[in-house]
A = this chain, B = another copy of it.
């Protein structure tokens, strides 16, 4: 074990990203940023030109995004950017609630001060970002908040699932955090989670986490249904 760690420390960390991974990130970014809009067709050969890579790479990227749920494939028509159905979004929030609630409960039952400290770090990061109007910072710190929630109790698989689902609602997230009062209520709800964890109150931590997600879900639903008629 310690030997393996020593090796890992010495290992020359060559950024051996394959072209495919780079392209994957680019396209995913383009989708979540809204450069490609939901319903847009993703023409393989056009993507080749825009990305400067071959069809082989583009096709693999499209397959990957398809299995992530960001891209849908119409038979004999080709891939399009997946539409985010409001029903689906609600389900994704519900699942996140279940899993984040579970993780919060586990954190509370673990009763480790490091967890509380790490969570509070992220939380002050969120507050500062809100104060500076740095929305990217809010997202990043929120993400790291949940990451510690999951990984401090070694729930990497659940964290992976949450991430997988989150990319599908990413542009929703960037809209909900801009909502009025979210800069106050969001951190307050998260502080409740941290408080319950500090008290070792598993039940309360779970409920607080689920409440927080439920609030986000409600905002997302409002945003989405307000936006729907405009399309």
Q: Which residues of A contact B (CB under 8 A)?
A: 16, 18, 20, 56, 59-60, 63-64, 67-68, 75-76, 87-88, 91-92, 94-95, 98-99, 102, 154-158, 161, 165
| Shortest beta-carbon distance from A45 to chain B in Å | 15
Smallest CB separation, A194 vs chain B (Å): 21
Which of B60, B98, B158 is close to A91, meaning CB atoms less than 8 Å apart? Answer: B158
A91 touches B16 (CB 8 A): no
CA distance A38 to B57 in the complex (A): 27
Closest Cβ of chain B to A147, distance in Å, is 15
30 contacts between A and B (CB under 8 A): A16-B76, A18-B75, A20-B63, A56-B56, A56-B59, A59-B60, A60-B60, A63-B63, A63-B64, A64-B64, A64-B67, A67-B67, A88-B156, A88-B157, A91-B154, A91-B155, A91-B156, A91-B157, A91-B158, A94-B102, A94-B155, A95-B99, A95-B157, A95-B158, A95-B161, A98-B98, A98-B99, A98-B102, A157-B165, A161-B161
Q: In the assembled complex, which residues on chain B have CB atoms less than 8 Å from the CB atom of A18?
A: 75
Among B56, B59, B87, B154, the residue within 8 A (CB) of A154 is B87
Q: Knowing that A91-B158, A92-B157, A95-B157 are A-B contacts, what are 7 other residue pairs whose CB atoms are under 8 Å apart, sorted by A's residue number?
A: A16-B76, A56-B56, A64-B67, A88-B156, A91-B154, A91-B157, A98-B102
CB contacts (< 8 Å) of A56 on chain B: these are 56, 59
A48 to chain B, nearest CB (A): 14
